[in-house]
Amino acid sequence: MYFNKHLLWVKVLSWRCALGCCCMHTNMAEPMELLCWGGDWDLPSVHSDSLIVLAYAKFSGAKLAVKSIDWTWRTITASVPQLHYEGSTVTEPAQILNFLRKQRFNADYELTAKQGADTMAYIALLEEKLRPALLHTFWVDAENYVNLTRPWFTSHSPFPLNFFVPGRQASLALSRILLTKAESPLLNITEVEGKIYSEAKECLNLLSHRLGNFHFFFGDTPTSLDAFVFGHIAPLIKAPLPSGQLQKHLNQLDNLCQFCNTILKNYFTDASAEKRMDCSLMATHDPVDANLQKLTQLVNKESNLIEKVLARFADSHLNLMSLEIAVTWLNVCGHCFFTMY
């Protein structure tokens, strides 16, 4: 009896030590940090690739410390989204998802081999058929770019980068579209436009047919395919696009719209509420931001000229010294502008 009591105490102490070590390891482990563009339009991020990673993290239970690159100099240097963990940096949604799986955050563990193959096929379809139309809608379509995309990214980038970032992103989007879709005899963006929107509508119809009446693409549990689809269609559904032929087509596919709203409701409701609360508090208690917004609107009137100047630097493979000279010159201009107003 005496021996059994001591044996029991030894087991209890060993359990406590093991629990203490686990807690210590958990507390000492660095949280994974995700850099991404900020949210708007009732979305956690306006950026498709960022939405993919954010959604997958929610599906797999990965805890991420999300940091917005809005109003930082990383708006020009960072590859977004960007995951930092224990000295490692991972970019691109597919690579970030693979990294999370290696950390045992796997939303696809219940998929069969066939479902895994279907996932890869549909993701490739999204990149080939829907991505070009998404880029064109937000970055190449003149009405959407002037009235929505450019003002948003301008207002979320620091001076003087607010003159350069939107134009640079638009140039990258146009280059990617022409590189992947401008095959002979379609040699310019006007000729390519009809082709990319036709393919995008076919892709959306196929996704709608595949989803059917299910909540998610493989039943009642979201997977990486759901994250990729959500990242592509959520901005199209939620953005207040002045010119939205693809948005109108998507709004006719009720199950895809319900799919998007279900993910937002089940996984991002708290984040959206916090975002709205933060915005309301900033509007109420920080008049400096309101004044800064008015000043930014005044500065934007001169953005075309400065964008052209910076575009010349970019086209000639702008090196670090040239960038520093350009930024210095723009800072002088900004100082003169602030002095005037």
Q: Three-state SS across the chain?
A: CHHHHHHHHHHHHHHHHHHHHHHHHHHHCCCEEEEECCCECCECCCCHHHHHHHHHHHHHCCCEEEEECCCCCHHHHCCCCEEEECCEEEECHHHHHHHHHHCCCCCCCCCCHHHHHHHHHHHHHHHHHHHHHHHHHHHHCHHHHHHHHHHHHHHCCCCCHHHCHHHHHHHHHHHHHHHHHCCCCCCCHHHHHHHHHHHHHHHHHHHHHHHCCCCECCECCCCHHHHHHHHHHHHHHHCCCCCCHHHHHHHCCHHHHHHHHHHHHHHCHHHHHHHHHHHHHHHHHCHHHHHHHHHHHHHHCCHHHHHHHHHHHHHCCCCHHHHHHHHHHHHHHHHHHHHHC
Q: Is the pLDDT of residue 226 over 70?
A: yes
Q: Is the pLDDT of residue 205 over 90?
A: yes
Model confidence at 185, pLDDT cuts 50, 70, 90, reads: low
The pLDDT of 169-176, averaged and rounded, is 85
Please name the CATH architecture into which domain 2-102 falls: 3-Layer(aba) Sandwich (3.40)
> Is 113-268 the same fold as 2-102?
no
What is the biggest distance separating any 2 CA atoms in the chain, rounded to whole angstroms?
A: 91
What are the two backbone dihedrals, phi and then psi, of residue 339, each rounded to the nearest 5 degrees? -65, -40
Give the number of other CB atoms < 10 A from CB of residue 130. 26
Among 3.40.630.30, 3.30.450.40, 3.40.50.11810, 1.20.1050.10, name the CATH number for the domain at 113-268: 1.20.1050.10
- What residues contact residue 153 under an 8 Å CB cut-off, 6+ apart? 75, 162, 165, 166, 169
- 96-105, 141-150, 183-192: lowest mean pLDDT where? 183-192
pLDDT tens, 298-336? Answer: 445 545 555 554 455 444 444 444 444 444 445 444 444
Q: Is the pLDDT of residue 112 over 80?
A: yes
Q: Is the pLDDT of residue 163 over 60?
A: yes
The answer to whether 75 touches 36, Cβ cutoff 8 Å, is no
Q: How far is CA 177 from the centre of its chain?
A: 19
The answer to whether 133 touches 246, Cβ cutoff 8 Å, is yes
Q: Is the pLDDT of residue 295 over 80?
A: no
What mean pLDDT is reported for the chain? 74
Enter the tokens of residue 272: 């959206």
Q: Would you kindly state where each structural domain of the chain is located, as residue ranges? A: 2-102, 113-268, 269-295, 302-341
The answer to whether 43 touches 51, Cβ cutoff 8 Å, is yes
Enter the tokens of residue 24: 């210590």
The pLDDT of 57-70, averaged and rounded, is 87
Q: Is the pLDDT of residue 41 over 80?
A: yes
- What residues contact residue 337 under an 8 Å CB cut-off, 6+ apart? 299, 302
Q: Which pLDDT score, from 0 to 100, does residue 312 have?
A: 52
